[in-house]
Amino acid sequence: MAYSDKVIDHYENPRNVGSLDKADPHVGTGMVGAPACGDVMKLQIRVNDAGVIEDARFKTYGCGSAIASSSLLTEWVKGKTLEEAGAIRNTQIAEELALPPVKIHCSVLAEDAIKAAIADFRKKSVQGHPADHEEPQRLSA
Amino acid sequence: MSSRRPIYLDYAATTPVDERVAEKMFRFMTVGGAFGNPASRSHSFGWEAEKAVEEAREQVAALVGADPREIVWTSGATEADNLAIKGAAHFYQKKGRHIVTVKTEHKAVLDTCRQLEREGFEVTYLDPEPSGLLDMAKLEAALRDDTVLVSVMHVNNEIGVIQDIEAIGNLTRSRGVLFHVDAAQSTGKVPLDLSKLPVDLMSFSAHKTYGPKGVGALYVSRKPRVRLEAQMHGGGHERGMRSGTLAPHQIIGMGEAFRIAREEMGAENERLRMLRDRLWEGLSGMDEVYLNGDLERRVAGNLNVSFNFVEGESLIMALKDIAVSSGSACTSASLEPSYVLRALGRDDELAHSSIRFSVGRYTTVEEIDHTIALVKSAVEKLRELSPLWEMHQEGVDLKTVEWVAH
Ligand SMILES: Cc1ncc(COP(=O)(O)O)c(C=O)c1O
Ligand code: FES
């Protein structure tokens, strides 16, 4: 399988490899895939109070295209709002990395991972520290 | 940047042609050489080509302890497997239409059996033991009154394990069932003596033994006599079993390659075993590294290893300075991980992490040492990237995790 230069670049010099503290209320963690399928992607974001992604980290078990997709995605989401990051489509990743058809699903995995990280962060911020947020409005009986 | 080629450690896929072989082949092509058609009976061009072809037949027969009249030239082991299995199944179908084989066979056998299933034959695909070897009791239990053929490979191409073909042949003989062996990976690696072995049909390939690609042979036993229905019809070459003008340069290449194998295999295998063991010693020092297939009943040049928590395709990519092959492929890309490792009952994770190293005639100690260093640093790098490795380090049992499969 011949890889594009961009895949090779991300693969050889992956950006933002690592982990953030998943207990931190500002951190959202998405983990998708399964070892039995040959791919697992973990993507984490740190979100500031303005709802902007300040930092992103990934770890990926999978082929070079999966590693490159997640590496690229961490670059893209930094500085974006949750809404903007959630709007990133796998097709944009696949296009940027010139992925061949059999590798499209590696980019799908990356899209799933950022969505899962955003969902995790949102879930935490609702449950975790109500002080930062308005209590959900109760209808008066 | 150096433009050095990668270190070749994929001798089980194919071997380079030995220079002595290439030099000899060249003498059977050009106008100054013996370029004649060995089937031409009316002039010396034909005679000299025929003589050389028959010498090659003797050389191939000598390596495996056969009579030269039991050797049928083919285009390779794939064709030999097809001719053996389809040819015997078709010829003996009045006796029965059941065939037994093993899940770890080469595709040339498995796909041929699938084709016969489409034609109405029944095939039993046996599971090997976790070592890769076949349990004789399971084989015996699979034999039926209508079983006509058992096909079991000698040396497995992925994991290098050696089946006990003598025991299998004794069983099939006692039951009046034909026995075919794919021995593409055996020649020059394991001694074979078909004058004693209870084998009826055996497939060979030249290009796994330093001969050219595109030529092979099928051994068809004369005592007891085995009959086949031809799969290739035409001028009636090879006693009607395989028509088509013979390719003397290829055939002579195979003969010369097998002659060299016969003379040198003793010393060569000792050297290959030393290299292979050195490689395993270097790699097995790492954490979470597993050998696939039995270590004892295995050819000298093969090492098949799983590096847990690292995915095989990315590892191959990291090892761009080494030419090896991976049985791994991500299932989502609609590619299956190695069916051979799966048949051994290996976890999918380990099947996804496997690399086959196969050393050969031109492998050096320096290459092995360099390979060990490259593999170690690649595995370390990829484990730094692996969420599974991180979880393993944290003591998480990956089996208890609920994965979001897609
Ligand atoms: C066990 C086995 N059988 C059959 C084959 C096919 O041989 P050939 O390439 O000569 O058709 C190979 C090699 O790929 C092999 O390893
Ligand atoms: S992760 Fe499945 S092929 Fe890339």
Amino acid at B313: E
User: In B, which residues are within 8 Å of A19 by CB distance?
Assistant: 390
How far, in Å, from the CA of B8 to the mean position of ligand 2?
Answer: 26
Active site residue A106: yes
User: In A, which residues are within 8 Å of B337 by CB distance?
Assistant: 38
Ligand nearest to the CA of residue B184, numbered in listed order: 1
Angle between helices A104-127 and A90-97 (to 10 degrees): 140
At B337 the pLDDT is: 76
* Ligand 2 atom showing the smallest separation from residue B333 Cα: 3
At A126 the pLDDT is: 82
Under an 8 A CB cutoff, do A63 and B313 touch? yes
pLDDT of A60 above 80: yes
Amino acid at B375: V
Compute the distance between CA of residue B315 and CA of residue A42 in angstroms, rounded to an integer.
Answer: 19
Nearest CA distance, B64 vs chain A (angstrom): 38
Output the residue whose Cα is nearest ligand 1's atom 12: B184
User: In B, which residues are within 8 Å of A14 by CB distance?
Assistant: 385
pLDDT in tens, B174-199: 999 999 999 999 999 999 999 999 99
Amino acid at B370: H
pLDDT in tens, B191-250: 999 999 999 999 999 999 999 999 999 999 999 999 999 999 999 999 999 999 999 999
Output the residue whose Cα is nearest ligand 1's atom 11: B78
At A2 the pLDDT is: 74
| Residue to test with chain B: of A20, A29, A40, A109, most B Cβ within 10 A | A40
C-alpha to C-alpha distances, B78 to B18, B124, B236, nearest whole angstrom: 22, 20, 20
* Three-class secondary structure assignment of chain A: CCCCHHHHHHHHCCCCECCCCCCCCCEEEEEEEEHHHCEEEEEEEEECCCCEEEEEEEEEECCHHHHHHHHHHHHHHCCCEHHHHHCCCHHHHHHHHCCCHHHHHHHHHHHHHHHHHHHHHHHHHHHCCHHHCCCCCCCCC
The reply to whether B313 touches chain A by the CB within 8 Å rule is yes
DSSP state of B134: P
User: In B, which residues are within 8 Å of A16 by CB distance?
Assistant: none
At B1 the pLDDT is: 44
pLDDT in tens, B132-141: 999 999 999 9
pLDDT of A19 above 50: yes
Sheet holding A39-47, edge to edge: A27-34, A39-47, A53-61
H helical segments located in B177-223: none
Where does the pLDDT of residue A135 fall: very low under 50, low under 70, confident under 90, or very high at 90 and above?
Answer: very low
Structure tokens at A21: 């503290």
At B406 the pLDDT is: 57
pLDDT of A140 above 60: no
At A138 the pLDDT is: 39
Amino acid at B325: S
At B70 the pLDDT is: 98
ipTM, interface predicted TM-score of the complex:
0.88
B10, B14, B78, B79: which to mutate for ligand 1, most atoms within 8 A of CB? B78
Ligand nearest to the CA of residue B187, numbered in listed order: 1
For residues B57-70, average pLDDT: 98
pLDDT in tens, B116-150: 999 999 999 999 999 999 999 999 999 999 999 99
Nearest CA distance, A14 vs chain B (angstrom): 9
